Amino acid sequence: MSKFHSNISRRDFMKGLGLTGAGMSLAAAGGPLFHDLDELAAGADTHHYRKWWQKERDFEDLTTPIDWDMFRPYDTRKLYMLPLSLVKRQADERNARHVRDVADNTPGGTLRDIALDEATYDNFNMQHLGWQGNIRTASPADRGLPAWQGAPEDNLQMMRAAAHFYGAPRVGAIEVNEHTKRLFDLGTTIWEDIPAAYIDAAGVYHIPSRCRWILTWLTKQNYPQSLYALRTDDTGPDRNKTFELGQASRNASYSHAPQIRWNVTGFLHGLGYLALQPEVRANVPFGLFSGLAEQGRTAYCCSPDYGLSIRYVDWAITDLPLQPTRPIDAGVTEFCKSCKRCAEICPPGALSLDDDTSWEVAGQWNRGGFKGFHQHWQKCAEWGGPHDCSNCQMTCPFNHPPDASIHNMVRAASAVTPALNGFFAGMDRAFGYGRQKSDAEREDWWQRDLSKWPYDELKGFGVKDW
Ligand code: SF4
Ligand code: SF4
């Protein structure tokens, strides 16, 4: 493209900036010279932390000059506070605008748009999220509006779009029936013909029978950061225990989860529906039954996209009709049969090294009733997992980000045929993935080039600022 914005050539633009040719202008004096626009654009990240065209000035020499004879500490008594009458009038006007936009079906102002926005309010109260989810979001009834109406498949897509924005990369749905009710803990949750949900004195959750769907979503864990947790050195008193530098990633996921939950459940409430979360010990089946993952050798969810680097399958029972999503076969469980990396690296031997899945449980703590992998939870817990050990989680070949195309090729090949699974797992070992970082690498983390590091979750940006 030799022209952009229709009438300026790329060369003219460069000339105008004085950024091409030796010593063409003062503009070039403080920065690098570029031969063309592509080089100029690529040069944005050549300087650490700040772009090359962002120059530093002296301390206190702002581009808005200061007069220190005039500049005083701020007098908060002079802060302009909107009169309450005006606050109320603006709120009334906003509400009227919402009602009109919903009635007119104005794109960007429909009930789902309003709910998307309002579910982000009041995160201050997030830590007090109860089992009925974020009910602080205004419901349509509060505005005299009907609840959101959509076909189940459209509702699923809507939930995927909203949850992705809030931070959950994958969303699924399970239909409640006599089988899937068994995913809940024994004697804790019953469905019945009642208008409103409640919890009784014995702690039993009563769910209105119209709540016939379980929405599920993934909370991701930052894998590149988690790798800093690995301690595979099996000597000394701290043998095989975790490094906190990486463990911070696990704990960050636990702090992300309530925020995403606050947003997603608030969104459902803003649409006019329930979002209930009775206490449940195991979240894994929700991921498996809704197709967010397969069961890995570790006995927990292994995502074909993110491997074991997911912290949590979150979920809410709802009366919003949802198109159920099917369990998946991406070759993960099959791959596990020949991989065994997580089991080999488990210090107390809590994971099965068998060549196949089994109906036999590893202990009374296992649910049973399925042919899969069963974890010896007692051994894991007594070793200190998951607080002081995350070796199994960090060695899974499915964890790899798709930085190198080979990782997605391996994923695709494994889904089509198990013939190469053993070879792929061996390759993962040979390339040294899932190894303990060196002392120098852990130290260097604090000096990493932030202009290039793509792995931090920057709120509002994704993984890298612009
Ligand atoms: S977290 Fe538990 S299962 Fe995983 S490697 Fe450590 S001890 Fe083994
Ligand atoms: S490390 Fe290997 S065996 Fe373990 S869950 Fe991942 S793919 Fe399966």
Nearest ligand, measured from the Cα of 345: 1
Distance 396 CA to ligand 2 centre (A): 5
Distance 285 CA to ligand 2 centre (A): 18
% of the chain residues with pLDDT over 90: 64
Is residue 184 a contact partner of residue 190, using CB atoms and an 8 Å limit?
no
If one residue of 352, 376, 391, 399 were mutated to test the ligand 1 pocket, choosing by the most ligand atoms within 8 A of its CB, it would be 391
pTM of the model: 0.87
Of 12-21, 46-55, 381-390, 437-446, the range with the lowest mean pLDDT is 12-21
Is residue 318 a contact partner of residue 213, using CB atoms and an 8 Å limit?
yes
Give residue-wise pLDDT tens across range 346-387.
Answer: 999 999 999 999 999 999 999 999 999 999 999 999 998 888
How far is the C-alpha of 138 from the C-alpha of 117, rounded, in Å?
11
Distance 70 CA to ligand 2 centre (A): 66
> For ligand 2, atom 6, which residue shows the shortest CA distance?
396
Q: Which two tokens stand for residue 125?
A: 């109260």
> For ligand 1, atom 8, which residue shows the shortest CA distance?
346
If one residue of 226, 227, 230, 297 were mutated to test the ligand 2 pocket, choosing by the most ligand atoms within 8 A of its CB, it would be 297
How far is the C-alpha of 63 from the C-alpha of 70, rounded, in Å?
17
384 Cβ below 6 A of ligand 1? no
Ligand 2 atom with the shortest distance to the CA of 333: 8
Of these ranges, 54-63, 167-176, 456-465, the one predicted with the greatest mean pLDDT is 167-176
Name which residue leads in pLDDT, 232 or 406: 232
CA distances from 97 to 103, 111, 136 (A): 10, 12, 20
429-294-315-180 Cα dihedral, nearest 10 degrees: -150
Give residue-wise pLDDT tens across range 209-247.
Answer: 999 999 999 999 999 999 999 888 878 788 878 889 998
Nearest ligand, measured from the Cα of 380: 1
Ligand 2 atom with the shortest distance to the CA of 298: 5
**pLDDT on residue 3:** 47
How far is the C-alpha of 448 from the C-alpha of 450, rounded, in Å?
6
Of 88-102, 184-198, 227-241, the range with the lowest mean pLDDT is 227-241
Give residue-wise pLDDT tens across range 111-133.
Answer: 999 999 999 887 767 767 899 99
How far is the C-alpha of 171 from the C-alpha of 290, rounded, in Å?
8
Closest CA to 273 of 183, 173, 184: 173
**pLDDT on residue 30:** 53
> For ligand 2, atom 7, which residue shows the shortest CA distance?
336
**Residues forming a β-bridge with 213:** 175, 318
Of these ranges, 92-101, 315-324, 406-415, 457-466, the one predicted with the greatest mean pLDDT is 315-324
219 Cβ below 6 A of ligand 2? no
3-state secondary structure 100-156: HHHHHCCCCCCHHHHHHHHCCCCHHHHHHCECCECCCCCCHHHHCCCCCCCCHHHHH
Average pLDDT over residues 249-270: 93
394 Cβ below 6 A of ligand 1? no
Of 21-35, 51-65, 86-100, 148-162, the range with the lowest mean pLDDT is 21-35
Ligand 1 atom with the shortest distance to the CA of 342: 5
Average pLDDT over residues 68-84: 93
**Residues forming a β-bridge with 73:** none
Name which residue leads in pLDDT, 428 or 111: 111
Ligand 2 atom with the shortest distance to the CA of 337: 3
Mean pLDDT (the chain, rounded)? 88
264 Cβ below 6 A of ligand 2? no
pLDDT bucket at 23, cuts 50 / 70 / 90: very low
**Residues contacting residue 126 through CB under 8 Å, at least 6 positions apart:** 134, 258, 259, 262
Ligand 1 atom with the shortest distance to the CA of 375: 3
pLDDT bucket at 454, cuts 50 / 70 / 90: confident
